Amino acid sequence: MKKNRQKLILELISRQPVETQQQLQELLEQNGVHCTQATLSRDLHTLGLIKQTEPNGVIRYGVNPLSVEDNDQRKLLNIARMAAVSVEVAQNIIVIRTLSGHANAVGSFVDTLEQRGLVGSIAGNDTILLVMKDNETADELLQIIRELLDGTRSLP
């Protein structure tokens, strides 16, 4: 339930500006998820979400850039598990699709893996491209990422 609630929180803040915990709590309830303000506050902390002001002046919840910069691998894995939508390979390129606005956090997580054969990564708004040395290392990393995201592999 906690994981589903946190995933819904990420989905909600990626679809629309959410300015307050009260607004987020109401959106959760509209989606059939009831939680206390204290639970919601803990979820925001766990996910590393903070209020941010966008260039157009809109205030909204988003991923804390410091969480991404600190490379807290477990926190980034938690965000990646909830924000990753798909992971595909095309020869030596891995493409990861995420919820809108979460590609940098997921990309930072992949970078912390320090995988052999990773030539470089590029993260946009909702897509990450991982360029691998060859098809074999791409297939290896694809398997590792999928297992980490679905919880069948743990961090070293």
pLDDT of residue 76: 82
Using DSSP, state whether 96 is helix, strand or coil: strand
pLDDT of residue 57: 82
DSSP, collapsed to helix, strand or coil, labels residue 23 as helix
What span, in angstroms and rounded, lies between the C-alpha atoms of 148 and 78? Answer: 10
Q: What is the pTM of this model?
A: 0.66
Between CA 25 and CA 62, with CA 3 as vertex, the angle to 5 degrees is 55
pLDDT digits (tens, 9 = 90+) for 52-107: 887 788 888 887 655 554 457 877 888 898 899 999 999 999 999 999 888 988 99
